[in-house]
A = this chain, B = another copy of it.
Amino acid sequence: MQGLIMPHTTSDTLLTLNVELGERSYPIHIGAGLLGDPRWLEPYLAGRQVMIVTNETVAPRYLERLRQGLSGDREIREVVLPDGEHTKTLDSVSRIWDALLDAGFNRRCTLVALGGGVIGDMAGFAAACYQRGVAFIQVPTTLLSQVDSSVGGKTGVNHPRGKNMIGAFWQPRAVLIDTDTLKTLPERELSAGLAEVIKYGLIRDAEFLTWLEAHMRELRDLDASALSEAIHRSCALKAAVVAEDETEQGVRALLNLGHTFGHAIEAHQGYGAWLHGEAVGVGMLMAAELSHRLGWLGKDDMARVSAILEAAGLPRTAPQSMATADFLDRMRLDKKNLDSKLRLILLRSLGDACVHDATPQAELDDLLETFPRG
């Protein structure tokens, strides 16, 4: 895994990161103004046929600009899905497959995901399974999807019984991150994206955490340079973890810091009520609190975790309506619970996460009982 900085004329600072996965390696290009420039999209298309997958919110803002990044002889179609986490279903993916088949698209077609994580996950899953796998390019337009879905190859949909239960590992041919798209992102979604950025600092990079504490204001003010730096560093951290462990057998589990609690919150509240990053933010605070009770994090550390979440504009309390039993029921199905043993990601120190499968039930119960609701 290596990142390199390249000079470029489109924007002052274009950053490119190569995600090294052998035959499936791909670049992430990060910068302002990439979207309408054919130099960034054209080289990664598999054939003439291009299916753009986007949603009703993103389409009016960026679909035309994306089309400008495609040369005239392409056969371009699009699927515009409704917006929101509740649309992340097998039915929506079936609509993409229907559109591909209606257009007579073959195995050399390319799917381009234009939107947030929901669009990326669905378009990626559609690509993974269309004629047993076709090319796929990610153009993430939310901070969360830029720092999270860009790396890792996870695709899929939710099931009434659990998040991301149906899916596949499928790598994109390229990821194009145009930081200009964040200008139209609601502030609440920006904060949710920052939760995942903070996560990378917490699990693996104490220095980055300190950098984030110093630059949180600039990030929330959409300073282009700070954003590019934070996205690049987040993607690089994730890419390093994924390159070590592509199919999530070991170290990759650390990326799930806050996710066991967070998924429980999302599922209990109904997908879409809480943003994923908001739920993960509270989940990280719960994991930090448990780490503190196990004697790993000091009081100062806890205060820093809480303060940076606050600075990012994130909630720090669990839903009022969620009882301890609600958490436990939802956590039982979590994918990290191998053969019914509960596994949690905890923090040995700030910047050093670990997999912990020996959390005493009483300790967990007590945390869930006493963690603040709001």
A residues engaging B (CB < 8 A)? Answer: 47-49, 90, 94, 97-98, 101-102, 104, 106-108, 125, 128-133, 154-156, 159, 161-162, 164-169, 247-248, 332-333, 335, 337-340
Contact status A133-B339, CB under 8 Å: no
Partner of A104, one of B125, B132, B247, B333: B333
Q: A47-B338, A104-B333, A106-B338 are in contact. Are A97 and B129 (CB under 8 A)?
A: no
Please, which residues of chain B bring their CB within 8 A of the CB of A154? 132
Please, which residues of chain B bring their CB within 8 A of the CB of A47? 338-339
Chain B: minimal CB distance from A276 (Å):
17
Known: A107-B338, A132-B248. 11 other contacts (CB 8 A): A47-B339, A49-B339, A90-B90, A90-B94, A101-B333, A104-B333, A125-B129, A128-B168, A130-B165, A131-B335, A133-B247
How many Å lie between the Cα of A156 and that of B47 in the bound state?
24
Contact status A131-B165, CB under 8 Å: yes
A167 — nearest CB in chain B belongs to which residue?
B132
Partner of A166, one of B107, B130, B167: B130
- 27 A-B pairs within 8 Å (CB atoms) are namely A47-B339, A48-B339, A90-B90, A90-B94, A97-B159, A97-B166, A101-B162, A101-B333, A104-B332, A106-B333, A106-B335, A106-B339, A107-B335, A125-B129, A128-B168, A129-B129, A129-B156, A129-B168, A130-B166, A131-B164, A131-B167, A131-B335, A132-B154, A132-B167, A132-B168, A132-B169, A132-B247
Contact status A129-B167, CB under 8 Å: yes
Chain B: minimal CB distance from A335 (Å):
5
Q: A97-B159, A132-B156, A159-B97 are in contact. Are A106 and B168 (CB under 8 A)?
A: no
Which of A47, A48, A125, A167 is packed against the most chain B CB atoms within 10 Å? A167
Chain B: minimal CB distance from A164 (Å):
8
A338 — nearest CB in chain B belongs to which residue?
B108
Please, which residues of chain B bring their CB within 8 A of the CB of A97? 159, 165-166
Please, which residues of chain B bring their CB within 8 A of the CB of A168? 128-129, 132-133, 168
Please, which residues of chain B bring their CB within 8 A of the CB of A49? 339
Please, which residues of chain B bring their CB within 8 A of the CB of A125? 129
How many Å lie between the Cα of A156 and that of B94 in the bound state?
14
Please, which residues of chain B bring their CB within 8 A of the CB of A159? 97-98, 101
How many Å lie between the Cα of A125 and that of B130 in the bound state?
12
Please, which residues of chain B bring their CB within 8 A of the CB of A169? 132-133
How many Å lie between the Cα of A167 and that of B107 in the bound state?
12
Please, which residues of chain B bring their CB within 8 A of the CB of A98? 159
A161 — nearest CB in chain B belongs to which residue?
B101
Chain B: minimal CB distance from A271 (Å):
15
A333 — nearest CB in chain B belongs to which residue?
B104
A162 — nearest CB in chain B belongs to which residue?
B101
Please, which residues of chain B bring their CB within 8 A of the CB of A165? 97, 101, 130-131
Please, which residues of chain B bring their CB within 8 A of the CB of A166? 97, 129-131
How many Å lie between the Cα of A101 and that of B157 in the bound state?
14
Which of A48, A129, A337 is packed against the most chain B CB atoms within 10 Å? A129
How many Å lie between the Cα of A47 and that of B169 in the bound state?
21
How many Å lie between the Cα of A333 and that of B104 in the bound state?
6
Please, which residues of chain B bring their CB within 8 A of the CB of A339? 47-49, 106, 108
